[in-house]
């Protein structure tokens, strides 16, 4: 399976949870010399978030160009103290599409920045599902008994340039959009003319850096947006599932796949592939919890195994197929991610990487998963069936109002 024009020569390291991710992220930012770019859905200024914010502040204060992009819903506000500290240090930051007067009633309100990306000095990049948020803290529910189950990857090699280019392009488009909205057409034209100017050339290419060993992993950055990459992540999943011969393991926090993806899973199970899904078992949000249930029946009848993660909140968006194909990223398999949000996944073709991720998933399924029984599901209480259908119907209505069919 050809995954990218930059398919070979990468080093991809799996990071399990915030305990592995945040030390690696802070180490990279603290060592930065030229540039740090960070995008996240949630930036929560708890103890962990303040460590990251402080690292960005210190980097900017020593002359590093720091660009921070936050989602306007996931991060509803930046505390005043950090607004002043960022300004004093020179951190450039922006909240993407904060809610206006009509809130989510306008279709644009559903188009969120959900990807979690970071690139430092064009040398190392991060991609995954982990927000800037303490693993043991939830903005809604408070302290958690166990950490979120989630993953990210640390990337070295030529794929870093793809991550950086995606982030530079997004920042540039938002700058131009803001200028056009303010009728600053001349300034906008100059911005586009200078698009490859000093900001975009502050970091050297990783291929020319001394001491970088040759890497052999095949990998690609797969994006989803509302312009040129509307279906790339879903297509990557469907292609890999269609080619599966032995095993499909998917861990996904918010799971409500469309018809094509559901049929791909059903067809795989019917041709003898063992398909296992590790899904959110704890109630978090009404729509996501109940809206997914109506699609479980057909999957269970086809032989798909559904395991609900019971030890805490599952936030992962990962998969392993046939022991060699894997993906780690920000995209859930639900309509918000697959139709409306900006997402980023890394797809990896490497047996060793796939085995490491598979080991984590099998352990979670066996130690923390509760398998759904098809007969028990069919006989679930009438009230639960009503809530499931209600959530499913509301979800479809909201998608219709947002101009999307699913």
Q: What band does 10 get if pLDDT is binned at 50, 70 and 90?
A: confident
Q: Which of 187, 208, 229 is the last residue of a domain?
A: 208
* Percent of the chain with pLDDT strictly greater than 90: 65
pLDDT of 292 reads 87
Backbone angles phi, psi at 41, to 5 degrees: -75, -50
Secondary element (H or E) of residue 370: strand 369-371
Residue linked to tokens 């100017």: 197
Query: Does the pLDDT of residue 107 top 70, yes or no?
Result: no
Q: Give dist(CA 200, CA 67) in Å, integer.
A: 12
Q: Are residues 201 and 225 in the same domain?
A: no
CATH number assigned to the domain comprising residue 265: 3.30.870.10
Of the candidates 292, 285, 279, 265, which has an alpha carbon nearest to the alpha carbon of residue 396? 292
pLDDT (tens digit, 9 = 90+) per residue, 113-164? 999 999 999 999 999 999 999 999 887 778 888 999 999 999 999 999 999 9
Final residue in a domain of this structure, among 147, 178, 208: 208
Do 222 and 204 fall within a single domain? no
| Catalytic residue list | 114, 116, 121, 315, 317, 322
Domain span at residue 235? 218-401
pTM: 0.88
Angle in degrees, 0-180, between the axes of helices 17-30 and 47-61, rounded to the nearest 10? 10
Using the predicted structure, report yes or no on whether residue 42 has a pLDDT greater than 50.
yes
Asked whether the predicted pLDDT for residue 214 surpasses 80, the reply is no
Q: Give the helix, strand, coil percentages of the chain, each rounded to 5.
A: 45, 25, 35
Q: What percent of the chain has pLDDT over 70?
A: 84
């Amino acid at each position: 399976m050809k995954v990218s024009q930059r398919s070979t020569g990468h080093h991809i390291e799996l990071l399990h949870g915030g305990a592995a991710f945040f030390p690696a992220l802070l180490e990279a930012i603290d060592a930065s010399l030229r540039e740090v770019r960070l995008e996240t859905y949630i930036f929560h200024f708890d103890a962990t978030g303040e460590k990251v914010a402080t690292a960005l502040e210190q980097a900017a204060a020593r002359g590093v160009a720091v660009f921070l992009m936050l989602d306007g819903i996931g991060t509803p506000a930046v505390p005043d103290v950090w607004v002043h500290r960022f300004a004093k240090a020179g951190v450039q930051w922006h909240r993407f599409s904060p809610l206006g007067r009509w809130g989510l009633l306008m279709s644009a309100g559903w188009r969120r920045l959900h990807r979690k990306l970071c690139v430092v000095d064009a040398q190392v990049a991060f991609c995954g599902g982990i927000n800037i948020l303490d693993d043991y803290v939830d903005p809604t529910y408070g302290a958690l008994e166990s950490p979120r189950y989630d993953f990210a990857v640390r990337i070295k090699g030529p794929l870093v340039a793809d991550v950086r280019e995606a982030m530079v392009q997004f920042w540039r488009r938002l700058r131009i959009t803001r200028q056009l909205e303010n009728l600053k057409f001349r300034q906008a034209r100059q911005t586009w003319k200078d698009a490859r100017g000093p900001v975009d050339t502050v970091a050297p290419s990783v291929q020319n850096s001394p001491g970088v060993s040759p890497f052999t992993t095949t990998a690609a950055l797969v994006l989803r947006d509302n312009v040129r990459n509307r279906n790339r992540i879903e297509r990557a999943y469907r292609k890999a599932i269609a080619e599966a011969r032995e095993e499909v393991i998917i861990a996904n926090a918010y799971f409500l796949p469309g018809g094509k993806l559901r049929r791909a899973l059903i067809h795989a199970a019917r041709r003898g592939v063992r398909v296992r899904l590790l899904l959110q078992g704890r109630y978090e949000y009404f729509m996501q919890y109940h809206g997914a249930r109506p699609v479980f029946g057909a999957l269970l009848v086809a032989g798909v195994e559904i395991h609900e993660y019971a030890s805490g909140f599952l936030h992962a968006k990962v998969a392993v197929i046939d022991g060699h194909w894997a993906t780690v990223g920000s995209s859930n398999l639900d309509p918000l991610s697959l139709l409306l949000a900006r997402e980023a996944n890394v797809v990896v073709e490497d047996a060793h990487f796939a085995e490491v991720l598979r080991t984590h998933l099998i352990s979670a399924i066996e130690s923390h998963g509760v398998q759904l029984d098809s007969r028990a599901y069919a006989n679930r209480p009438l009230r639960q069936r009503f809530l499931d259908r209600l959530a499913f119907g509301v979800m479809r209505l909201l998608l219709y109002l947002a101009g999307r069919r699913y």
